Amino acid sequence: MTLPGLSSKNLWLTRFPVSVTFVAMKSPTWLKTYVEGLDIVPNTKYRSDCPVCTKKNTFSVSDNGMQRMWFCFHADCNVSGRTGVTLSRTSASTVFERSAASAPPPRTNNTYEVPDTFVSVSRRVEAESYLRKVGAYDAYLSGVADIRYDVRMNRVVFLIKDGRKVVDAAGRSLDGRGPKWYRYGSSRSPFVSGAGTSAACIVEDCASACSVCGIVSGVALLGTNLLTEHIEVLKQYDRVFVALDKDATDKAITMVRTLHSHVPTRLMVLHTDLKNMEKDERNDFLRSHINR
Ligand SMILES: [Zn+2]
């Protein structure tokens, strides 16, 4: 702050007002945008060098899931402020997309660490409505399927397990951004919903698998190709039904043939997607097949 040509007396006089100016310093207008753009997982804290005074590790931002509050601990700076609940879906999405791009979830075969962006489905009304719409809400409530909401990608996430171990996850977009289904990990395991049934039904996706699990175990291959890992899982059932969309009937017939050498397998021709049927209609349809 020393300016050339100032006498020591002048300096002394100016020192006090200068420090007051710093204490009372309001955040520069760009700081809010800066904070909103930081790659911070909701409901966590963040620490970095201060972008205003540039002091080492004095800048703290806390994200409470709704807004972010910032503060610099350096006595000569003390900038502080909050974003307000302006982290709109769009800006949040941009932030989350950016962070998703810079730090992809761990992808190693048959191990998947559930990120803390997977939160309870109850945190998002649209996630619950989606599960109701596709007949997967019962599976969610009963815990037959482990379903979460991903705040980062705005997806309903179905955890894929091998026994009790989470090995992967598949997320259904709630806002049409990106692919309809996103595979988080790289396992080759199918998604299975339901336990303790002797019959399994191969379906199009995780939501359909949840919709059938009151009657049979729903198995979603996540991609219509039958892998050896899928066969290993399916062999554990007494009977298997292949219920793929009628556009995929050729593929379904091939699948029935392949599976039949491992486990009794039959085709179940669908006129309506299972997850779009009313619950009673779906259950009647399934019972009529498995009781044959
Ligand atoms: Zn500072």
- Please state which of the ranges 9-18, 137-146, 183-192, 206-215 shows the lowest mean pLDDT: 9-18
The reported pLDDT for the residue numbered 51 is: 85
Average pLDDT across the chain, whole number: 82
What is the value of pTM for the model shown? 0.63
Dist. CA 35–CA 48, nearest whole Å: 11
For the cut 50, the answer to whether the pLDDT of residue 100 exceeds it is no
CB 19 within 8 A of CB 38: no
Q: How far is the CA of 79 from the centre of ligand 1 (A)?
A: 6
Q: How far is the CA of 61 from the centre of ligand 1 (A)?
A: 12
Helix (H) or strand (E) holding 286: helix 279-290
Better-scored residue on pLDDT, 18 or 144 = 144
Q: What is the mean pLDDT of residues 126-151?
A: 94
CA of 214 to the centre of ligand 1 (A): 58
pLDDT tens, 215-266? 999 999 987 688 999 999 999 999 999 998 777 778 888 999 999 999 999 9
pLDDT at 34: 84
* Per-residue pLDDT reduced to its tens digit, 165-208: 999 999 999 998 888 999 998 888 999 998 778 999 999 899 99
Instruction: Give SS3 for 142.
Output: helix
pLDDT in tens, 142-152: 889 999 999 98
First-to-last C-alpha distance (Å) of the chain = 89
pLDDT at 4 (0 to 100): 46
Cα 55 to middle of ligand 1, angstroms: 6
**What Å distances lie between residue 30 and 5, 19, 36, 208, 225, CA to CA?**
34, 22, 10, 47, 51
Share of the chain above pLDDT 70, in %: 83
| Average pLDDT score over residue span 6-10 | 43
CA of 71 from ligand 1 middle (Å) equals 8
Binning pLDDT at 50, 70 and 90, where does residue 99 land?
Answer: very low
Distance 22 CA to ligand 1 centre (A): 10
Eight-state DSSP code of residue 238: S
Which pLDDT does position 224 carry in this prediction? Answer: 64
Residue 87 Cα, ligand 1 centroid: separation in angstroms? Answer: 23
